[in-house]
Structure 1
């Protein structure tokens, strides 16, 4: 009996040792996110290693799958880095083109509005998604159509974004005037407002999109195509040269100038009052004189910005597309402004060149 009991205990510890080794081999691999390169027979296993928690991984047990997350783990966990979706410009290698100002936008164009002199150009003929810069054409058509701005428009389910799933504080059933919708679309890039403007255009949304493309052709914007009025679709595309043309024309519309440069705006939606702010922080900066502006962003387009502004006595049109970084488009505008201010008698335009530090 004594011999049998000893054999059973020995067998128990053998089994226990197998379990500990197996667990220790699994946990560090899950923790690091990659397989260890050391041979299994050389691995040192300790009880401390076996107790480490694995980050957000499913670890198989005999009974169930246990998910350890940053909230449930008893030790600090690593959060896996998920790279952002590349923009069309990044995929095309446009950021590899460098420029003298070290701009973070892969596409840039600065033009003197009066003389049409090109002061700076970088990939200015590249055709890319333009995100909410689309709304500048939407606004131009609505303004030029001379539709009643006090006419109420109600947000419907048709205005809800199914392209990107973006959110909006204008819930289905919210009613604002056409003028209020236009204000929110241009100033704070309200997608549902922009869609509702196109949907309620004479002939409906399809007719509105047709007119967007007709207007682009009439203005000589040969690189431009629109498929909807918000910019949520990456199929809305244009070039910096075309967008400079659009900014020049839109700047001639007093309503677009006023609404696009408004720092903030309040609207009453039912019993609530909603405060909206301009998506371009430069309009609140007293050192800037901005006559018209529009921002845009979807992952395919990167951060975008167009502006009409006056610097060192010159009226300039600026276009920045596919900027990498949340505030980098504004930084690019500041770089251009400082450059112009330091050289007010510019005679030679800045040209981008192929390089590795774009």
Structure 2
């Protein structure tokens, strides 16, 4: 408990506690934070307190609320018309009328950002989607996300907002869930379909989970025109659990490039970084 308080206090109270060498790290994302979850130190921050749309990063909260409810992972949930995206009109390979175990929908929502899967999880929550959204916002307050708001379970609504600092807390909290760690880093998965199309194969929306030089514990991507391309991760870099939050990366490959830049920078400077961070210990 003391460690959690230290971690969240570090994120909340020291928005400029980045290393002196951070100017050598040029990230293209509009907002970012890099956080060492082991020693509660911020390594780098850029517009970390700007409230922004977070797109499908929302699904990490969807997963936590679903798991906190301790609902049966094997209960089958039928995709309904209510789960169809009428806001952004995104496509889905989960047809209305097909049914899947809750754990299958959770895996698809996390690894490949399946919107109907996330919508169905919220709808099937006790009390329905309104109760689910209430639980999402309650959970956000519980883990210290003071500048965040959730209005749906998918992230398709641009009114799902947070700061990079708050999302670092979300990622850190998500890392405590074994299921989230496993499902969000699954590289590919085949789902048995109840329709004539046969089995459906999905791949992770974060290509870095398939790279051998990355050791990723939690991962989630997001995209909306209002949010740009987003990426959050917790990964082991130079032996340290490192949280990376990248928001509003407009180039198609910018968020991946930024993540690789963070990794390379930490690996090249970790001895200097450790010395500097002791000076700025939180």
Per the normalisation by structure 2, the TM-score is: 0.88
| Aligned residue in 2 for 1:108 | 32
Q: Could you list the per-position Cα deviations for residues 222-260 of structure 1 after superposition, in whole angstroms to 9, with x for gaps in the alignment?
A: 100000000000000000111100111110110100000
Q: Could you list the per-position Cα deviations for residues 248-291 of structure 1 after superposition, in whole angstroms to 9, with x for gaps in the alignment?
A: 11101101000000001111112410000000000000000000
Question: Could you say if the C-alpha distance between residues 251 and 305 of structure 1 is closer, same or farther in structure 2, counting changes exceeding 3 Å?
Answer: same
Alignment counterpart, residue 266 of structure 1, candidates 190, 196, 208: 190
Alignment counterpart, residue 265 of structure 2, candidates 317, 339, 344: 339
| Aligned residue in 2 for 1:281 | 207
SS at match of 1:344: helix
> Shift in Å at residue 99 of structure 1?
5.2
| Aligned residue in 2 for 1:166 | 90
Alignment counterpart, residue 302 of structure 1, candidates 228, 234, 237: 228
SS at match of 1:255: helix
| Aligned residue in 1 for 2:8 | none
More relative contact order in 1 or in 2 (CA 8 Å, sep 6+)? 2
Contact 1:134 1:231 (8 Å CA) reproduced: yes
State the alpha-carbon separation in 1 of the partners of residues 116 and 66 from structure 2: 15
Q: Could you list the per-position Cα deviations for residues 63-120 of structure 1 after superposition, in whole angstroms to 9, with x for gaps in the alignment?
A: xxxxxxxxxxxxxxxxxxxxxxxxxxxxxxxxxxx95322110101000001111100
Contact 1:99 1:122 (8 Å CA) reproduced: no
The 5 Å alignment of 1:291-330 reads 291-330=217-256
Which of the two has higher C-alpha Rg?
1
SS at match of 2:34: strand
| Aligned residue in 2 for 1:209 | 133
The 5 Å alignment of 1:144-183 reads 144-183=68-107
Per the normalisation by structure 1, the TM-score is: 0.69
CA RMSD of aligned residues (A): 1.1
Moved beyond 2 Å, runs of 4+: 98-102
The 5 Å alignment of 1:243-254 reads 243-254=167-178
| Aligned residue in 2 for 1:225 | 149
Contact 1:119 1:348 (8 Å CA) reproduced: no
Contact 1:113 1:317 (8 Å CA) reproduced: yes
State the alpha-carbon separation in 1 of the partners of residues 145 and 108 from structure 2: 26
State the alpha-carbon separation in 2 of the partners of residues 208 and 264 from structure 1: 28
Alignment counterpart, residue 124 of structure 2, candidates 200, 205, 210: 200
Structure 1, gaps ≥5 residues long: 1-97, 350-358
Structure 2, gaps ≥5 residues long: 1-21, 278-282
The 5 Å alignment of 1:44-193 reads 100-193=24-117
